[in-house]
Structure 1
Amino acid sequence: MRLTEEHEELRAAVRSLLARRPDESAWRPLTEQIGVAGLAVPEEYGGAGCGALEIHVVMEELGRALAPVPFLGSAVLTTQALLASGEGELLPALAEGSAVGALAWAENGSWDPDAVRAGARRTAGGAWRLTGVKDHVLDGVDADVLIVAARTDAGVRLFQVAVDAPGLRRERLVPMDSSRPQARIVLDGAEGRPLGADGDGARALRRARDLGCVALAAEQVGAAERCLELTVAFAGERVQFGRPIGSFQAVKHRLADAYVRVEAARSAALGAAFAAAEGAAELPRYAAVAKSACSEAFSAVAGEMIQLHGGIGITWEHDAHRYFKRAHGGGQLLGAPARHRERLAEELGLTASRGR
């Protein structure tokens, strides 16, 4: 599994831009100069027609910089849900980056498509009215395009809800990781435009979840790698008892263990990205492995970063706490590692589904 020279050029371009703009202002040049918002969008809808490997490269770099841009929520989750639903009308604006999309489906902490309980009923006049509450909606308050999963008599279906629709309330949450904005979406009879076939929403959400997990795993690898780089550099500079702390055997062992975790996570993330790029039928298994392994590796390496930096690692003066928060927030996003191990076991037929 090797990335191409073109992939490395994409990486260099994204890294260089983020070095100059490591905040929210990076989104516009990322979309206008590099075209990241449309990487996974087919050319017929104004995108680049690329795939999971290009997404992997960009997510690794966004993870290294902890860039607070809406790439995961808009360019991955929303875009993939629309593609899986066969809906192309909204894609050009998302691909251009002139609009940001948000996909609302998690309820009560569950990202399982079968757990959707928000309801959609059709009125006598033919309009669809949605009722329910959605949690952990990435960029939900600032999004221009809102896609909501709701249950009809035929099953789960996706709906587009206007962001200013009567009966819709968007509440900004205060997540652990402030660099990844989240919202609660409250629907009280808000009108929605149906997307795709009735009852086909669960399939679209599963596809979006798998590709979202693959992308998130890449971000976690990039962030974990950066944690290790910063910690190794600090261990070579911080002097105790007349010598750099990195020269002590106990510290060397901990850094070596962190390195092994990062490289093992990299293998899992790359394997999932290649499976997605090749359209492998086993993608759900690869995605579950990557999300579980990379979430735990990032959390462990971010924890070591805190420990080996000592007191400064828990202050606002250092970025260690930001990586630690991203690790724990990302670990729960799209499902906790334990849930993905359960999902893997279900895929392999090793246990009965627990319906979560």
Structure 2
Amino acid sequence: MSLLITAEQRMLQDALEQLLSRHDPVTTEEAAERLWRQLSDELGVTGLCVPEEFGGAGGTFTDLAAVMEAMGRTLYSGPYLSSAVLAVHALLLSEDTAAQRAHLPDLARGHRLGSVIAPDLCSVDGRISVQAEGDRALLTGSASSVLDGVAADLLIVVAEMGDELSLFTVDASATGMTRVPLTSLDLRRGTAEVTFDGTPARQVGPPGAAAEIMPRLLRIASLAIAAEQAGGADRCLADAGEYAKVRYQFGRPIGSFQAVKHTCADMYQQVRSGHVAVRHAARCLDTGSPESAIAAAMAKAYCTEAYIACAAANLQIHGGMGFTWEENCHLHYRRARASAMWAGTPSRHRQWLADQLLTG
């Protein structure tokens, strides 16, 4: 099983990085919308994971990993993870053809934005419950740190219906819902607190389907976030190396000092190993390997700590400059710390992996 990306995937990465480097960060809603239109209309990445029958490209998980690496390198701040990855795959895993027909074409074209509210993908405050009222389902509860929770046109919510966990869709115009933007540790990514108070919702898939869907969705989320982290670590390595060549101390570049050389060598090893872990997990998901869950957990656990270590080392090599807005060092460190919590922390993944080993 090859762990190299194809020439086409490399071309897509390069085109995506060039576009995002020119236009991100965006400072206005109009600029963000223009960038999203370019991602959709020019590169077609918003429909990358959507099957062709619903207007998408029918891409693979290896394609997705290549895209997320590029977005991690450029600190992309838009709703790609929440909408084109999490919301799309939640609908695909539901196997609800009617819901897929209703929502996937617009998500693929970037005409609508989606997000998912579920444990491990945000902070659910207590529980979100469902009350049946005639032929309607009404949601009650709240969640915080919802990715792109204010911008989303469609929310896909995991809620308790009796003793079962089921999947529901909520339209942005639904009554009884409030969405409050939050300031996140990751200053480049939008999060929100979402509260439901008798909010009408539509069930997706059969009752209790979320219990089976969520572990599979978390594997995909782990892969996507790990790929983004690997890309971010790669950029930290590149920035640290470039700065070490031009920053002089005691009459010579700091890159000539042994301590800096060793730090950069450690970063290189972490970055290369992170790419291998991500691509192995992507190949396992593409082939439906029984090792998919293990590979995704290993990738998320490793890439989380690699990104944090590389971001911290990049800050150290830049010194005081790393904390200024002239450099992105502190923004990478913030994202590294924030993304460590999404789809499970490294310690949680390692505990799960240890349990799998012990139970055989």
Structure 2 unaligned runs (5+)? 26-31
SS at match of 2:188: coil
Shift in Å, 1:39: 0.7
Partner residue, 1:270: 279
Partner residue, 1:119: 129
Partner residue, 1:82: 91
Q: Which runs of 4+ in 1 moved over 4 A?
A: 107-111
Shift in Å, 1:110: 5.9
Question: One-letter code of the match for 1:310?
Answer: G
Which of residues 17, 20, 23 in structure 1 aligns to 2:19?
17
Partner residue, 1:130: 139
CA distance in 2, matches of 1:60, 1:209: 18
Partner residue, 1:36: 45
Matches within 5 A, 1:245-256: 245-256=254-265
CA distance in 2, matches of 1:107, 1:233: 36
Verify the 8 A CA contact 2:244 2:253 in the aligned structure 1.
yes
CA distance in 2, matches of 1:280, 1:301: 31
Shift in Å, 1:60: 0.6
Question: One-letter code of the match for 2:21?
Answer: A
Partner residue, 2:28: none
Shift in Å, 1:85: 0.3
Q: What TM-score, normalized by structure 2, do the two folds share?
A: 0.92
CA distance in 2, matches of 1:108, 1:57: 21
Shift in Å, 1:349: 4.0
Matches within 5 A, 1:72-221: 72-87=81-96, 88=100, 89-106=102-119, 117-123=127-133, 125-221=134-230
Question: One-letter code of the match for 1:301?
Answer: C
Partner residue, 2:269: 260
Q: What TM-score, normalized by structure 1, do the two folds share?
A: 0.93
Identity of aligned residues (%): 41
Shift in Å, 1:154: 4.8
- Describe the superposition over 1:157-178 as per-residue Cα deviations: whole angstroms up to 9, x where unpaired: 1111121212111111110112
Q: Quickly say closer, same or farther: Cα 1:338–1:109, change in 2 above 3 A.
A: farther
SS at match of 1:34: coil
CA distance in 2, matches of 1:223, 1:107: 21
Q: Quickly say closer, same or farther: Cα 1:320–1:255, change in 2 above 3 A.
A: same
Question: One-letter code of the match for 2:297?
Answer: A
CA distance in 1, matches of 2:298, 2:168: 30
Verify the 8 A CA contact 1:107 1:133 in the aligned structure 2.
no
Of the structure 1 ranges 242-251 and 102-111, higher mean CA displacement relative to structure 2 is found in 102-111
Q: Quickly say closer, same or farther: Cα 1:347–1:133, change in 2 above 3 A.
A: farther
Of the structure 1 ranges 314-323 and 45-54, higher mean CA displacement relative to structure 2 is found in 314-323
Q: Quickly say closer, same or farther: Cα 1:166–1:82, change in 2 above 3 A.
A: same
Determine if the alignment matches structure 1 residue 334 to structure 2 residue 343. yes
Matches within 5 A, 1:313-332: 313-332=322-341
CA distance in 1, matches of 2:38, 2:355: 42
SS at match of 1:298: helix
Partner residue, 1:354: none
Partner residue, 2:4: 2
Question: One-letter code of the match for 1:146?
Answer: L
Shift in Å, 1:28: 1.5
Which of residues 222, 228, 240 in structure 1 aligns to 2:249?
240
SS at match of 2:325: coil
Of the structure 1 ranges 146-155 and 190-199, higher mean CA displacement relative to structure 2 is found in 146-155
| Root-mean-square deviation (Å) | 1.8
Structure 1 unaligned runs (5+)? 352-356
Of the structure 1 ranges 127-136 and 220-229, higher mean CA displacement relative to structure 2 is found in 127-136
Shift in Å, 1:316: 2.1
Q: Quickly say closer, same or farther: Cα 1:79–1:347, change in 2 above 3 A.
A: farther
CA distance in 1, matches of 2:37, 2:313: 34
CA distance in 1, matches of 2:49, 2:121: 30
Verify the 8 A CA contact 2:117 2:156 in the aligned structure 1.
yes
CA distance in 2, matches of 1:257, 1:218: 19
CA distance in 2, matches of 1:133, 1:281: 35
